[in-house]
Amino acid sequence: MRVLYTKDADFKEAFEKILARAQMDVEEVTPIVQGIIQEIRTEGDAALCRHVAKFDRWEPKSGEELRIDPALMRAAYDKLDEKLKAALHLAYERIEAYHKKQLPKSWIDFEENGTILGQKVTPVERAGLYIPGGKAAYPSSLLMNAIPALVAGVEEIVVTTPTPDNEPNELLLAACHLCGIDKVYKVGGASAIAAMAYGTETIPKVDVISGPGNIFVATAKKLVYGEVNIDMIAGPSEIGVIADESADPRYVAIDLLSQAEHDEMASSILVTTSRELADAAVKEVEGFLKVLKRKEIASKSIHDRGAIIVAECMSEAVDIMNRIAPEHLEIVTKNPFELLPKIKHAGAIFLGENTPEPIGDYIAGPNHTLPTGGTARFYSPLSTEHFLKKSSIIAFSCQAMQDIGEAAAILAHTEGLEAHAKSIEIRLDAKRQK
């Protein structure tokens, strides 16, 4: 694992590479994804079945075979170990409680002259959730995407997930049943995104798509944006840790590896003011790597894309982390709350040594679908608002029109929009003639 010192002559060059961690080579991927999307748009279920046969190694004879029977979801839920079932329920309850607090409200204001202004908040009618499958399936991602939609009041939720060899993940099916979702389809990749964006004979068109995925999924979401809304364009997972000399190097090391084990492209970055912690963390990382089941993935990630940066002071450490704008940020210092006001950019912030990032992945309550690759500078975590839309409410009385209509007409004339101005003026004139 690389150790960088901010005083080193080559630090700036090395740091620029860290900031470029999210750059994806989409030149080869984009034409492939465009072709997949076009096939789904023109051929519907026939293209879906062909893509499933090609990528997931089983051959559905019709689109109807892609849908998972809700009875199988119920059976998977019923077979759950009781401790696992209780854990899922606890996660559901905590995620639901947190997201209920995010709900925006409709409102109406009345002015003395009879003007009524307000905002009407309504959910989208149908949401599409993409949940990765295959070698690794993540029921936690289903909960984190489905529950905000349910809290928002979405009437219909559609789930797509790849099922290599036609073997759905039992725990994912159980989580779907827990969330009351009965429209789950065995299709993945760009094909699934296109199917939800444009609709096929079997999979209905949705209004918003959320959920993580690989470069093909991310590219497809980017290409269909505008036809539907999307949550964000997410890249590989990442963690940033700010720590001082009080941090336990074992805690820091395993937290860095908690993201490295996700993906060879994941990035794990420690910024510390302590050279002693930096050296100790390197040793602990190497020790943990020897015993991790996913050590090949974690080792490639941590050695190719991980880094430890030794800063001259805590102020410099914070500035560096704000430039990185990590998906997950842990602050492991003597008093982490002192640094909180100085943090400008982070998807989720974990404060103190007893708050490791994985607690947020599963059970804390806030959403774990977060902006990656520095996009925390302008993106927010997935929330109930991603499944809501707002309409403005405007109602004018005759008196209100008399009070401010002339100003509106003047502005319309200034922009050369005669019909705009006339629409207002004929009402003003009609009132004056009475």
- Given 328, 345, 368, 386, which residue is catalytic? 328
For the chain, the straight-line distance linking the first and the last C-alpha, in angstroms and rounded, comes to 83
- Given 327, 330, 353, 357, which residue is catalytic? 327
What DSSP character marks residue 239?
A: E
**For this structure, is 327 an active site residue?**
yes
For Cα atoms 342, 345, 349, give the angle at the middle one, nearest 5 degrees. Answer: 80
Q: C-alpha distances in angstroms, 205 versus 32, 198, 224, 398? A: 22, 5, 12, 43
Strand partners, 317: none
DSSP-H helix ranges across 267-369: 275-289, 295-304, 314-324, 336-339, 357-362
What span, in angstroms and rounded, lies between the C-alpha atoms of 127 and 164? 24
**For this structure, is 312 an active site residue?**
no
What span, in angstroms and rounded, lies between the C-alpha atoms of 123 and 19? 36
CA 60 from centroid of its chain's CA atoms: 31
Residue 362: how many other CB atoms lie within 10 Å = 17
Residue 232, helix vs strand vs coil: coil
Q: Quick check: 195 and 228 in contact, CB under 8 A?
A: no
Q: Quick check: 136 and 169 in contact, CB under 8 A?
A: no
Q: Which residues contact 218 (CB under 8 A, 6 or more apart)?
A: 24, 233, 234, 235
Per this entry, what is the length of the chain? 434
For Cα atoms 205, 209, 210, give the angle at the middle one, nearest 5 degrees. Answer: 155
Q: Which residues are catalytic?
A: 327-328
